[in-house]
Amino acid sequence: MNRVWEHMSWLASEPRPAETDRLEECRRYCIQHLNDCGWDVRRDPFTSHNSIGFSLNGVNLVGHRRVPESSSARNDRPVFVLGAHLDSCPGTPGADDNASAVAALLDVAAAITEEFPVESWNQCPVELELVIFDLEENGMLGAAFHADGCRQQQRNVLGMVSLEMLGYCSRQPGSQSMPPELQGIYSDVGNFIGVVGNQNSTALIQHFADAFASIPDLPRESLQVPDNGRPLPPTRLSDHSPFWDAGYPALMITDTSFLRNPHYHEPTDTPETLDPVFLTKVTAGVIVAVRKLLQSGLRSG
């Protein structure tokens, strides 16, 4: 069993909704694994309000590569944010939504540490920031808090990618649905990974689409939406949308959620419903994309 599947299975052993002990236990699990593979993690607490005005307390986890204080890391490089939300809806173990994506993020952290020793890390043209978001299921509140902080601090954010449900795959015709606006444009077979960006994300879309194309037998589809996705509301349903609204290039990487997975927000969203080969290949594609960003930055598109 590979480490992505191990992480996903552990996180999805029971529900982890907002403000619960189980969610905190899962945060500690993520912190431990990030620490173990060379990342320092900052707990970033916040209080926000959902769409009906109810106050909620959340904690984002923000990870940066651990480097010696004596090292000469560049401090002028742009930041690339790779994120995934940890919380689930009540009553669902959330294997696909969103343990699959958090597991992928943890594996990216380990792989990048293995591939980039500190000496070469300090010379990368891009700084990688890993964020495990809270309160996504309550309206992307953790991502909104982080995006607002980036804007207020005038951080040079090269781009952001939200990993959102990465493990459900079906090779049966008719297994993939689409919003009416996209009917007939994409395959009706739910075996591809989707790359969704906005009007500002041309280069980022191409970068990740090319990375997924390098993984054998991993179909991928791309979509670029205007006006920060407002004409197509399903494209806004993850942690990338607050970054769109803050003016940053951002993507959602997704197996298309409820447009494919019949277990979405149900008690049946369990590890047994996911495809380990598909999840492993998607994670490999994300690693390729992040590696190339760290090696040579992002070409304008």
Q: According to the model, what pLDDT value does residue 119 have?
A: 84
Torsional sign, CA 46, 241, 152, 44: positive
Q: According to the model, what pLDDT value does residue 252 have?
A: 98
Residues 12-56 have pLDDT tens digits of 999 999 999 999 999 999 999 999 999 999 999 999 998 888 899
Alpha-carbon gap, residue 175 to 191, rounded angstroms: 9
* pTM score, whole prediction: 0.97
Q: Say whether pLDDT at 250 is over 60.
A: yes
Please give the share of the chain, as a percent, with pLDDT higher than 70: 97
Res. 173 pLDDT band, cuts 50 70 90: very high
Structure tokens at 208: 């990740």
Alpha-carbon gap, residue 26 to 99, rounded angstroms: 10
Q: Say whether pLDDT at 298 is over 90.
A: yes
Instruction: Show Cβ contacts of residue 57 under 8 Å, excluding neighbours closer than 6 positions.
Output: 19, 45, 46, 47
Nearest to 65 by CA among 102, 38, 30, 27: 38
Residues 185-217 have pLDDT tens digits of 999 999 999 999 999 999 999 999 999 999 999
DSSP secondary structure code for residue 189 in this structure: B
Q: Are 265 and 97 in contact (CB under 8 A)?
A: yes
